[in-house]
Amino acid sequence: MGVSEKEKYGSDIEATSPGLVSPADDVEVGEGGLKRNLKGRHMQMIAIGGSIGAGLFVGSGSALNSGGPASLVIDFIIIGFMLLLTVNALGELAALYPVAGSFYNYSIRFIDPAWGFAMGWNYAMNWLVVLPFELTTAGITIAFWTDPQNTGTPSVNVGVWITIFLVLVCVINIFGVKGYGEVEFVLGCIKVLAVIGFILLGVIIDCGGVPTDTRGYIGAQYWHNPGAFRNGFKGFCSVFVTASFAFGGTELVGLASAEAANPRKSIPKATKQVFWRITLFYVVSLFILGLIVPSDDKNLSNATGGNTRYSPFVLSFQLAGIKVLPSIFNAVITLSVISVANSCTFASTRTIQALCARGMGPSIGARVDKKGRPYVVLIVVLLFGCLAYINEAKSGGTIFTWLLSLSGLSNFFTWGSICFAHIRFRKAWKMNGRTTDDLPFAAMFGVIGSWIGLALNILCLIAQFYTALFPIGGSPNAEVFFESYLAAPIVILFFIGYKLYYRQWTLGVKLQDINIDEGRRELDLDAFRAEMDAERAEKASWPWWKRTWDFWM
């Protein structure tokens, strides 16, 4: 006996024209799928502060030490500009196709199924190994209080804090995507206020407005002595690694589109917020940081992971003689790390669930409960968090370093694939006689922006290859190289493995075979186009200042 589409995929599916919606791919539809519980405020806060954590608050210290203040700002501007182009391309695709596992899905549809398979598992592995890292980092941040003298033996073992934070992440995930959204909204607001507060206080410190600061007026003194650049071209290239790690997670707004209540409205707004996140939180704050903290401070070389006592932000307050703020900002860093750990769980579970739903992983991983939680994958991911305890072993640090090397280049591969998928999409869109007027959101920088974003991603991969092969203060070393570049051969292995397993000998998909309406939520395209035309006509009647505000906000 035949089974209707409605019976097979749930009561949420209405009769549609063939090709408009593909329930098998768009797994968030139906009673057993992911729930669309992310509101506009959730999406905007995920875009603004969702992944700001130890990469910015701690890792920027070692970057300042290795590259100098000028390299720090310039490299973050380059990566930030690249991300702005990338997220715009992603926003266009996600607003049109808010499907589960968006990144790898776009690569499968518009680049090559094998490349999409490699990108999906590359992205999932990235967040899988970052989760125990963030849990460890959160535990180490507590040592700021439990081991104030930095003796190496805190009064409470870090494993206790790892357990507490892991349980906290488990509790958050009990509430599904809504729990993730609410936690990110609250913690995001805290991070936003903390960064704005730092910028204001940093200006005061630089101008000599803190009575306890014996340095007085600083100005651009540290740009002249010890200097704007350190370690030459190697130092400049090395900062790209830190910048990519700090910016990691900016693309989460696209992954969350499948669970957004109204992606056509929320995705464009969230995409535009990325510009302010890059400008305010990264570029401005790091420029101020380079003014008030000397790049040759001996403590900065230790600014990695969760060693928040070496955080340049914390150090800036200590150098100014401010007693209370170091502890307050350390608490902000701890909360930020928990936020990123929460994002790790969300990103890895949604990506793996979508891969399994498409037949690119064990079918059991595609299961989702009635509350929209991919419970099978969620259990596996949370158990993966227990790898944080490896650091308690004598050889744990070495093992963990190699685990993290799997994610070293993940961001560049992900971002570059998004840009290339957008380029290919626009070609297929044009081949079908569609224009940008048919899009719910068009990338502000168009296809040219995606070409530039792709080129910058490739240049960053080259820069990281250079620093991996010729590390600062060292000679070429195979172990050091693969610690930095192991992700590249892993991606190639996934790609070739897929080709061999499925005996798919061709490269790339044929654009003329792509069904450009598959995966859309709009069921009546004529009504959708009429609605878009009405919105554009209304905006055209706005005064120039309102149109400008809408463009950037």
Q: Provide the residue ranges of all domains of the chain, joining segments of one domain with +.
A: 43-360+371-430+474-502
Q: What angle do CA 481, 485, 486 make, to 5 degrees?
A: 105
Query: Does 1.10.3480.10 match the CATH number of domain 43-360+371-430+474-502?
Result: no
pLDDT tens column, 363-384: 898 888 877 788 888 899 999 8
Question: What is the average pLDDT across 513-529?
Answer: 79
Question: What is the average pLDDT across 22-48?
Answer: 53
Question: What pLDDT, on a 0 to 100 scale, did the predictor assign at position 71?
Answer: 92
Closest C-alpha to 450, from 439, 438, 458: 458
Instruction: Evaluate the CA torsion angle 275, 280, 281, 284 in order and state its sign.
Output: positive
Question: What is the average pLDDT across 286-298?
Answer: 91
Question: What pLDDT, on a 0 to 100 scale, did the predictor assign at position 28?
Answer: 45
Question: What pLDDT, on a 0 to 100 scale, did the predictor assign at position 43?
Answer: 64
pLDDT tens column, 435-485: 888 888 888 889 999 999 999 999 888 888 888 888 777 777 777 787 778
Whole-structure pTM value:
0.84
Closest C-alpha to 225, from 283, 297, 286, 282: 297
Ramachandran angles phi, psi of 241, nearest 5°: -65, -50
Closest C-alpha to 26, from 183, 320, 260: 260
